[in-house]
Amino acid sequence: MYRSHTCGELRIINKGTQVTLAGWVQTVRKLGASITFVDLRDRYGITQLLFNEELTKQLEENPLGREFVLQTTGTVNERSNKNGNIPTGEIEIAVTSFKILNKSAVPPFTIQDDTDGGDDLRMKYRYLDLRRNAVKKNLELRYAVNRAARNYLHQQGFMDIETPFLIKSTPEGARDFVVPSRMNPGQFYALPQSPQTFKQLLMVSGYDRYYQVVKCFRDEDLRADRQPEFTQIDCEMAFVEQEDILNMFEGMIKSIFKEVKGIEYAETVQRMTWEDAMWNYGNDKPDIRFDMKVLNLKKPATVYTDKQDNAALINDAGFKVFDEAETVVAISVPGCSEYSRKQTDELTEWVKRPQIGMKGLVFIKVNADGTYKSSVDKFYPEEKLKAIADATNANAGDLILILAGAEERTRKSISDLRMEMAGRLGLRKDTEFKLLWVLDFPLFEYDEEGNRWVARHHPFTSPKPEQIETMINNNPVIDNAAEYLKHPYASIKANAYDMVLNGNEIGGGSIRIFQRELQEKMFAALGMNEEEQLHKFGFLLGAFEYGAPPHGGIAFGFDRLCSILGGSESIRDFIAFPKNNSGRDVMLDAPATIDEKQFEELQIKLNLKS
């Protein structure tokens, strides 16, 4: 061993001990000719080294630079000038000998929390970026979450069972990465998008509580914060109903909170139907750290819900914008009634940005003196403004923001606006955590292009038990595209659940179909003929013939969960070697060309478009 102690462990009680440390030179400070201070860094901390006059002379012959690897022996002394900011700040090592284990070129950026390195540079030299304390803390948090999840699941009787990575391509929605098989020319493996079917087979096999912390792969165009390979905490249970899964996995997340963040999440995890989430928050993963619920002033005649809007509050006022809009929604933003013209104009510009795409913004100021002031005073007298304000539960001093337009975009926009205003008001606190279960999702989504149904979650999700008959007994074909919402399938709810943390979906799952007949009906509903069903999922349909138990599960997005717990927006900060938005590892310079010999052996060739 090159060291007797780490750079993070020596304290005043070690005073007088002879020690050997090894680590990286963080800083060198020479005080005249007689003394040199060196901060030596390793994974565990920083320790100050003191080089006396003689050793300072030796250093002149072998000068130390930043990031040099140094081994040093000396005695632990009490510091005269103590540093209360670091745990080793009371001591220093009076060096008696040292050895430079390796030199370092000048790093392309500073190895500090507030580095001067840009994103590209840091990714290219990721091995240096990983030395920064900020990144190290993220990876330590990731490991702590991993441990906490595993320990909880182990205690609950779950077994880690590894599922294969070289499987069969069955693209449904997302694209598979494929791997040519040399031993089976002309054939390809696929990398798993998730171990979904395998974990279901394990339930059929009787392993009743399975988990894995496992890499998954999706060949999708990368948006910010999507990675082609990502990690899931993947779980499945047999002989359970939805309620069992919800209890088990809120237990897991609470256990992670406790182990990793020291947070005792004692309160009951809230639950909300998908319909309520959409209606009250415009979003299926609402952030409930703050209130600011959506008031539905107007909804289209045919929509996902039969909840009642408040159209009476805005109708018959001659305001064409509202009259012609499909949907009108409002939120009341606390304490913003004093917004200046400049501020409301800026907000209007904000909702008109292409990412939001609204045509304008209506506001009502609920003034502290009890008066109302609106951008639509012309159409709505004060008592009407008051009625709207009351319906949003506004208080004096609040600012009501109203959006109007096509249903889907307007609903999404009010959700975005709600999040934006909460951000501006400091209501989205990194240190506050609010869990939520969103339940009762629709089983199917309507695909306009194909005039057909697609699975909202995945094809293995079961309908609510009381709707199985509806599903079995109806033809999935949509005769009248305009009235697809009247098709019996439109109202089938799934036995599915998402776990939402601070407005992010961190996990999702469902009770699965376990009957062959129902599974076949599902595949057929998604437009798969019998041959295709057997080719892609014959093994699963076969397995359902031999005593498949009722089962269900959930998968957590491990990267995302870590980033939220770490108070960051970016999952990349929590992955040791992430890829950029073009799916490239700029450090490795991968992907790359391969040798002619590899093409020959695999019996494939390129077919590049011009």
C-alpha span between 453 and 15 (Å, rounded): 73
Q: For a copy of itself, which is the closer residue by CB, 187 or 302?
A: 187
- Taking the complex as a whole, how short is the minimal distance between the CB of residue 557 and a copy of itself, in angstroms? 14
Q: For a copy of itself, which is the closer residue by CB, 182 or 424?
A: 182
The 8-class DSSP code of residue 298 comes to E
Q: For a copy of itself, which is the closer residue by CB, 2 or 396?
A: 2
- Taking the complex as a whole, how short is the minimal distance between the CB of residue 151 and a copy of itself, in angstroms? 10
CA–CA–CA angle 403, 329, 504 (5° rounding):
95
Q: For a copy of itself, which is the closer residue by CB, 228 or 397?
A: 228
C-alpha span between 1 and 17 (Å, rounded): 18
- Taking the complex as a whole, how short is the minimal distance between the CB of residue 507 and a copy of itself, in angstroms? 18
Q: For a copy of itself, which is the closer residue by CB, 300 or 538?
A: 538
Q: What is the DSSP string of 464-510?
A: PGGGHHHHHHS----S-GGGGGGSGGGGPBBSEEEEEETTEEEEEEE
C-alpha span between 415 and 394 (Å, rounded): 18
Name the token pair of 72: 């040093």
- Taking the complex as a whole, how short is the minimal distance between the CB of residue 505 and a copy of itself, in angstroms? 21
- Taking the complex as a whole, how short is the minimal distance between the CB of residue 211 and a copy of itself, in angstroms? 10
CB neighbour class for 286 (10 Å; exposed up to 12, middle 13-18, buried from 19): buried
- In 3D space, the residue among 91, 203, 139, 214 whose CA is nearest the CA of residue 460 turns out to be 203
- Taking the complex as a whole, how short is the minimal distance between the CB of residue 159 and a copy of itself, in angstroms? 5
CB neighbour class for 529 (10 Å; exposed up to 12, middle 13-18, buried from 19): exposed
Place of tokens 């963080």: 26
Q: For a copy of itself, which is the closer residue by CB, 449 or 545?
A: 545
Q: For a copy of itself, which is the closer residue by CB, 404 or 575?
A: 575
Q: For a copy of itself, which is the closer residue by CB, 66 or 464?
A: 66
- Taking the complex as a whole, how short is the minimal distance between the CB of residue 44 and a copy of itself, in angstroms? 8
Sheet of 229-238: strands edge to edge? 159-160, 209-217, 229-238, 551-557, 504-511, 496-501, 435-439, 270-273
Q: For a copy of itself, which is the closer residue by CB, 119 or 430?
A: 119
The 8-class DSSP code of residue 571 comes to G
- Taking the complex as a whole, how short is the minimal distance between the CB of residue 50 and a copy of itself, in angstroms? 21
- In 3D space, the residue among 378, 413, 152 whose CA is nearest the CA of residue 258 turns out to be 152
- Taking the complex as a whole, how short is the minimal distance between the CB of residue 56 and a copy of itself, in angstroms? 21
- Taking the complex as a whole, how short is the minimal distance between the CB of residue 455 and a copy of itself, in angstroms? 19
Cβ pair 461, 200 in contact under 8 A: no
Q: For a copy of itself, which is the closer residue by CB, 143 or 432?
A: 143
CB neighbour class for 31 (10 Å; exposed up to 12, middle 13-18, buried from 19): exposed
